[in-house]
Amino acid sequence: MNESKVLLAHADVKGIETLSVYERHGGYATLKRALTEMTPADVVQAVLDSGLRGRGGAGFPTGRKWSFLPNDGRERLLVCNADEGEPGTFKDHFLIHRLPHLLVEGMTLASYAIGAPRAYIYLRGEFLQGYELLEQAIAEATAAGYLGQHVCGTDYSLELKLYRGAGAYICGEETALLDSLEGRRGIPRMKPPFPATAGLYGLPTVVNNVETLCAVVPIVEHGGEWFKAMGTEKSPGTKIYSMSGALKRPGNYEFEMGVPLSDLIEAAGGLMAGRTFKAVVPGGASAAYLTGEHIDIAMDYDTLAQAGTMLGSGGVIVLDDTVCIVSFTRRAMEFFRHESCGKCTPCREGTLWMDQVLTRLEEGIGTEADLDLLLDLADNIGGRTFCAFGDAAVAMVASSVRLFRQEYIAHFTHQGCPLQKERVG
């Protein structure tokens, strides 16, 4: 399968981050047409027809999320989740840096669709350049009448606010994001109420991922059916896959959903010379490993879920035979231990404990009983935590023990990493 550049169609154009170049390549034409020719309900319908599923990781149908907003007269808000923090995922980063106006256009369309007079971008704090680019894009779009009072000369007005996070992975969880946006410590909220009924400042709120909102533009431009015709039946459209790891050309690649993993790897230049494929993490650090038997697996929500892992945010990390699974898994767990918000017991205590055990195992100190302990701890965390973080934190470690038990045992027998010893020796 070849790349299908929809969102990234103009990503390589020089200066596309500026308004003038973006407009020259058809930018904001869809917005103008939608605001003058389509009702908000038409826009919602197009997104419903497209079958677009949320690109932040959960894959919830976007059109349905928009339809949940209660019709009770309260002001509605749109929040863009741009807190991209999933290790191995850098597609939103790319979109923000290359196509800031696509995000602004998508947000304006979405805000129009749901009737929001205010919209917010919660941007990952580390994206300093992205912040400046978005600031500039918002200023340009406002000056050009694509934002602010009377968008495109219509009765519709939208205020778009840009807010930087302060460096917490958990603030990518939508309710923790809302708390953080309100100026509090970012901790997941109790659900229900869901953001659709009580979100930002208690108002009905839609929270969408950057890629999701960008996808709204081509969907409205070409129609929902057009989008739905791409990808698989249950995972329509295209998806930006962040390819990283032991690849010759790591980067973002846009394919139709369901692309075979092997095609993605090939697009990213394949493995380095002389290396062999060992494993892949198909959906960021929150996903379970797959091994060589799944090298041709269709990269869509449902197929990956059936294989016991997930597409998540589409961060594909490829590991070759030089990578120590124990070390890689330990590093991922260190990340989760560091990023756990600490609200609930299994996540707070469990990630620390597992990190401690994995650190010890990497040094070759342990027994097989520790592997069973890791599996049982994973079982005591997964499904027991307040939010989905717990499931994310244990997916990789549990699959590593199941798939690479011998590699762990080799660490005990070699009193350290056999791969490392090989290299040093």
- Which ranges in 287-324 belong to alpha helices (H)? 301-306
Instruction: Give the residue with the Cβ less far from another protein, 21 or 352.
Output: 352
For residue 200, the minimal CB distance to another protein (Å) is 20
Residues with Cβ within 8 Å of 277's Cβ and at least 6 positions away in sequence, in order, are 265, 271, 292, 295, 318, 320, 321
Nearest residue (CB) to another protein, 147 versus 357: 357
* Closer residue to another protein in complex, CB, 267/387: 387
Rounded to a whole number of angstroms, the minimum distance from the CB of residue 184 to another protein is 10
- Which residue, 245, 235, 120, 214, is CA-closest to 171? 120
Reduced to 3 states, what is the DSSP secondary structure of residue 165?
A: coil
Instruction: Tell me the backbone φ, ψ of residue 123, rounded to 5 degrees.
Output: -100, 135
DSSP string covering 206-222 = EEEEHHHHHHHHHHHHH
Give the residue with the Cβ less far from another protein, 271 or 332: 332
Q: Residue 294 or residue 337: which is nearer to another protein going by CB?
A: 337
Q: How many CB atoms are closer than 10 A to CB 161? A: 12
Task: Tell me: cis bond preceding 188? Omega within 30 of 0 counts.
Answer: no
* Cα torsion 4, 7, 10, 11: sign: negative
CA distances from 396 to 135, 212, 237, 277, 408 (A): 37, 26, 27, 17, 14
| Residue closer to another protein, measured from CB, 269 or 383 | 383
Residue type for 150, please? H
Minimum distance from residue 307 beta carbon to another protein (Å): 19
For the chain, how many residues are written? 425
Output the smallest distance, CB 382 to another protein, in A: 9
Q: Nearest approach, Cβ of 92 to another protein (angstroms)?
A: 23
Q: At closest approach, how far in Å is the CB of 193 from another protein?
A: 12
Residue placing its CB nearer to another protein in the complex, 8 or 378? 378
Please identify, using beta-carbon distances, which residue of 248 and 338 lies nearer to another protein. Answer: 338
CB of 346 to another protein, least distance (A): 6
Q: How far apart are CA 192 and CA 210, in angstroms?
A: 24
Closer CB to another protein, residue 40 or residue 350? 350
Q: Which residue, 32 or 384, has its beta carbon nearer to another protein?
A: 384
In angstroms, the CA 402 to CA 372 distance is 10
Question: Which amino acid type is present at position 135?
Answer: E
Q: Report, in Å, the least distance between residue 229 CB and another protein.
A: 33
Considering the complex, what minimum distance in angstroms separates the CB of residue 142 from another protein? 36
| CB 3, min distance to another protein, A | 37
Residues of this chain that bind another protein (CB under 8 A): 168, 170, 185, 190, 337-346, 348-353, 356-357, 360, 373, 379-380, 383-386
Strands 290-291 and 315-320: unpaired
Q: Which is nearer to another protein, 118 or 411 (CB)?
A: 411
Residue 218 makes CB contacts below 8 A (sequence gap 6+) with: 6, 7, 30, 227
Alpha-carbon distance 301 to 65, whole Å? Answer: 17
Strand order in the sheet with 77-82: 159-164, 118-123, 77-82, 205-209
Least CB distance from residue 177 to another protein, whole Å? 15
User: Prior bond to 40 cis, omega within 30?
Assistant: no
In single-letter form, the type of residue at position 171 comes to C
Between CA 86 and CA 283 the distance in angstroms is: 9
